[in-house]
Amino acid sequence: MKNLKFLQIVLVLALCSCGSCEDEDKLPGTKPEMLIGKWESLQNGGLFFDAHTWLERYEFTETGGFMVKTYYDPIAKVFLDPDTLNYFANWSFSVENETIYFENYRGSRWTLFAKGLTSDSIFLGCNDCIYYKIKE
């Protein structure tokens, strides 16, 4: 009976420490040094009276980052206070899939198409908006 209990404990521990299980939780791809930093894109949309312009920024760090959108007020001719749209706790970039993978602090995941990464620009999203790296 003691041998059976011991065997059950060993099996449970083996299942809990499965190395391949830990790999399944990782985001695919890598964190290229070239992508770390701030990336901005000036965009516009809408028609006629609904037209609007905004500045969109992604900031990638070693441990996470965020995405901010700042609208332009054409009457005052200034950019308004930024709206933080997403914080992410983890991210990775897959060259093969042309995708950036994000994970927030709650474990939810989403993706963004990304291609043409160079040291100063990248195309992001389904509309291929070009983002430029901000040199600081």
Cα separation values, 102 from 7, 77, 82, 114, Å = 40, 34, 21, 12
Coil, strand or helix: which one is 95?
coil
Is the distance from CB of 31 to CB of 103 less than 8 angstroms?
A: no
Mean pLDDT of 77-98: 90
Please check the confidence at residue 9 and state whether its pLDDT lies above 70. no
Mean pLDDT of 41-56: 81
- CA 111/CA 88 separation, integer angstroms: 11
Task: Identify the residue with better confidence: 28 or 50.
Answer: 28
Is the distance from CB of 100 to CB of 27 less than 8 angstroms?
A: no
- CA 92/CA 94 separation, integer angstroms: 7
pLDDT band at 85 (very low <50, low <70, confident <90, very high): confident
Please check the confidence at residue 118 and state whether its pLDDT lies above 60. yes
CA atoms within 13 A on the CB side of 119: 1
- CA 23/CA 119 separation, integer angstroms: 29
Question: What's the angle, vertex CA 21, arms to CA 19 and CA 22, rounded to 5?
Answer: 70
- CA 126/CA 97 separation, integer angstroms: 14
Mean pLDDT of 94-106: 93
Mean pLDDT of 28-35: 92
Q: Where are the domains of the chain?
A: 32-133
At 52-61, the pLDDT tens digits run: 888 999 999 9
Please check the confidence at residue 2 and state whether its pLDDT lies above 50. yes
Q: List beta partners, residue 54.
A: 43, 71
When mean pLDDT is compared across 5-19, 29-43, 60-74, the lowest value belongs to 5-19
Fold topology of 32-133: Lipocalin (2.40.128)
Both tokens of residue 22?
A: 């830990």
